[in-house]
Structure 1
Amino acid sequence: MLHYPLFTLQILQFFDAFSCIHCAMSTLLRPPPVDPSKSAIENVLELTQLSDIDPDLFSNTRPLWHPPGARGVYGGAVIAQCLSAAQRTVPKNFTIHSMHCYFVLAGNSEIPVIYHVEHVREGKSFATRTVQARQRGKVIFTTTMSFVREDSGGKLLLEHSTDMPDIPGPIEDNDDLRFPQGSDGPFLSQRVEILNNDSPNPHTKKTRQWIKARGEISLAGGHEAHLSALAYMSDSYFIGTIARVHKLWRYSSARAGNNKSTIDEEILKTLLAMDDESLKRVQGIDNHDIKRLRRIQNGEDTSVDLDPKPEVGMMVSLDHTIYFHNPRDFRADEWMFTEMETPWAGDGRGLVFQKIFSRNGKLIATCVQEGVVRLKQPTESKL
């Protein structure tokens, strides 16, 4: 349990009350114009430091994105803004090497998020910070981060690293479509064919993609901006790996014979209007999804399928861990390769591992995420 000074608690309570009264405001202050000298992801993650009140208090400068159909705001934004806030409280020669996060409640995109950084430890080689993100008097997200002093390991080092798979590089100007962000999203991606996709064993499959921040991250952002951008991107289709390797249906439609839609109807309408080649470029869509979309398009009963698959009833992240291996030796606005695999799923949950490499094959991060993955249950007939 965190122990805040009384004054800080009073300030947090004030902002919680403020956000309740002004629930239509997604930021504490009116967002400034987009800064053209910064990349899109820097503008998305911009923070307002409430230094006149407490130098360890921050808030989102711009509205946070709420994906249609999701329970709350995009988790990667909260992860990245917590990291951004904590980075501003440590000496410049200290760099993040690990962060352990828990998603507590769904974030509301119409209410400001207040981030409070607690200085847990100030050591010679390591510094520890805990950040809580709060809305309406409740913690929606909490993370503990450890920072290490640069070159603290000494001149003689013990080193090893896994190799990046030998795969084709990204193709310029041929990026995957991302719904619902589309071309306005702050980063780009290109899918690579799932390894062992035809295997009957989901744990042997690996989902892979190339990712990078859109545009060029500013020099003023420093290595901190690249780390925050990496944190933002690390949550993209992470727990969704489980649905992909099981080839589960994730786009239920009320008009396709279901009681409740699990996808925004406008997005579904857009997907149905696309040809097969375009659908293959959509992040998260596979051949099984395309077949299902065609059945919906033709007005067929998708509950009766030649190759029936369960449907996702609920999928949400519970926790998220990032280990940063070479935190000052990569650029998030250059292509990075990610590979995800899931060793286990059961009891309504699933676990996913992710490795992130720089374009030249250097392992720059390892991530772990557990989430709720529940199937839509069959409707029991009433006697």
Structure 2
Amino acid sequence: MASTAARIEPHVAVIPAPELGRDTYTNANPLTLHGGSRPVFGGFLVSQALSAACFTVPDTFQPYSSQSSFLAPANGNEKIIYRVQRPWEGRNFLTRVVHATQGVDCVYVAVLSFQSVASPTGINSLEYGTPKPELDQPPEDIDPDSMQALQSSLLDRSASVMQQSAEDRPLDWRPHSMEMSEDPTQFRVRGYVRSPTALSTSDCSTHLAAFAYASDEFFFGPALAANPVAVGRGARNVTMGASLTHNVSFHDPNAKIDQWAVLERETTWGSAGRVMVQQKFWNMEGKMILSSSQEALIRLKGARI
């Protein structure tokens, strides 16, 4: 077991705030990723809502679904309060609803579902999963700075995400390849991700919260990369980009974020100022870890939406 926390762990951590009521939590650490950043990155909210919900669930239950909506921008210089509701307590399934607030404003809401580890599996159940793409280059052979290079080819240097170096990021991203096409729905980006250092715990809730965080990093990037002409060089034609909804299904509760995972992302639809992106994660042995979807707002210059 690691003696010190990995960089991702403070990002997903919450602490109880009993003075504010039962099942109430707040972020344990600052929400900014680098100096001068005020809007909160959505991965903080997705992962910390899951961490808060896990505090209210017995150890015999594991999360399998997170369905959430971003309602308003959150300020990175203020605490976020996570209030957990318990609408359903079943023998095999539990549901939690988390409202994230700042002041009087609800900035984010999530519905999180849990299943008992004692629920029967492998007996009278369907067993299958989408195969992992076969990548011809292992992550160790990919330059750790390649994600920065890829971002530089897609985004203007003034974008906030461009202010981070590989050493600043809580996760190690190694892009492998992009399949381009005139049809945006045929675009694919593939690569690897993991925590660069081992987590200080083997607790599944921390690892899954870290995967939830990872699921939001660079997520609507495929919609930009798949439409290079409309987006323009360095995304110069984009006037706004924001996540609207974010859904994650966890397929392997024992997945470890400090082990390499393979990921594939695509965009399946765009219209009315919104885009839809999809992703899948596998472990190196080919078992699916999670699948996820996000709807995002992307406004271009001259748009009247």
Q: Say whether 1:321 aligns with 2:247.
A: yes
What displacement does 1:88 show?
Answer: 1.0
Q: 1:204 to 1:69 in 2, by over 3 A?
A: farther
Structure 2: 5+ residue runs without aligned partners?
149-161
What displacement does 1:250 show?
Answer: 6.8
Q: Say whether 1:217 aligns with 2:199.
A: yes
- In structure 2, what is the equivalent of residue 355 of structure 1? 280
RMSD: 2.4
Per-residue CA deviation, residues 43-91 of structure 1 (Å, 9 max, x unaligned), is: 2222121235534111111110257898821000111000000011101
Say whether the 8 Å CA contact 2:66–2:110 is kept in structure 1.
Answer: yes
Q: Say whether 1:185 aligns with 2:169.
A: yes
Per-residue CA deviation, residues 86-120 of structure 1 (Å, 9 max, x unaligned), is: 01110111011111000000010111100001011
Partners of 1:101 and 1:212 lie apart in 2 by 23
- In structure 2, what is the equivalent of residue 237 of structure 1? 218
Partners of 2:226 and 2:147 lie apart in 1 by 20
SS at match of 1:171: helix
Q: 1:98 to 1:356 in 2, by over 3 A?
A: same
Counterpart of 1:174 (choices 143, 155, 159) is: 143
Partner AA of 2:46 in structure 1: I
Alignment of 1:189-208 (within 5 A): 189-195=173-179, 197=180, 199-208=181-190
Partners of 2:37 and 2:263 lie apart in 1 by 23
Q: Say whether 1:89 aligns with 2:72.
A: no
SS at match of 1:166: coil
Alignment of 1:43-82 (within 5 A): 43-51=10-18, 53-65=20-32, 72-82=39-49
Partner AA of 2:287 in structure 1: K
Q: 1:123 to 1:88 in 2, by over 3 A?
A: same
Relative CO higher for 1 or 2, CA cutoff 8 Å, sep ≥ 6? 2
Partners of 2:35 and 2:276 lie apart in 1 by 24
What displacement does 1:173 show?
Answer: 7.4
- In structure 1, what is the equivalent of residue 292 of structure 2? 367
- In structure 1, what is the equivalent of residue 111 of structure 2? 144
Q: 1:151 to 1:234 in 2, by over 3 A?
A: same
Tell me the percent identity.
30
Partners of 1:128 and 1:244 lie apart in 2 by 36
Structure 1: 5+ residue runs without aligned partners?
1-34, 252-287, 290-308, 379-383
Per-residue CA deviation, residues 182-223 of structure 1 (Å, 9 max, x unaligned), is: 11211110112212x1x211111111221111311113x511
- In structure 2, what is the equivalent of residue 268 of structure 1? none
Partners of 1:372 and 1:165 lie apart in 2 by 29
What displacement does 1:310 show?
Answer: 6.9
Q: 1:68 to 1:247 in 2, by over 3 A?
A: farther
What displacement does 1:313 show?
Answer: 1.4
Higher mean displacement: 170-179 or 123-132: 170-179
Partner AA of 1:181 in structure 2: Q
Say whether the 8 Å CA contact 1:79–1:231 is kept in structure 2.
Answer: yes
Per-residue CA deviation, residues 287-324 of structure 1 (Å, 9 max, x unaligned), is: x65xxxxxxxxxxxxxxxxxxx8711111100000001
Partner AA of 2:175 in structure 1: R
What displacement does 1:174 show?
Answer: 2.5
Say whether the 8 Å CA contact 1:48–1:60 is kept in structure 2.
Answer: yes
Instruction: Provide the aligned length of Structure 1 versus Structure 2.
Output: 286
Partner AA of 2:172 in structure 1: L
Per-residue CA deviation, residues 238-280 of structure 1 (Å, 9 max, x unaligned), is: 11210011126879xxxxxxxxxxxxxxxxxxxxxxxxxxxxx
Higher mean displacement: 166-175 or 233-242: 166-175
- In structure 1, what is the equivalent of residue 301 of structure 2? 376
Q: Say whether 1:160 aligns with 2:128.
A: yes
Say whether the 8 Å CA contact 1:250–1:312 is kept in structure 2.
Answer: yes
> Which structure features the higher share of strand residues?
2
Per-residue CA deviation, residues 156-199 of structure 1 (Å, 9 max, x unaligned), is: 1321111001112212572135532211211110112212x1x2
Rg: which structure is higher?
Answer: 1
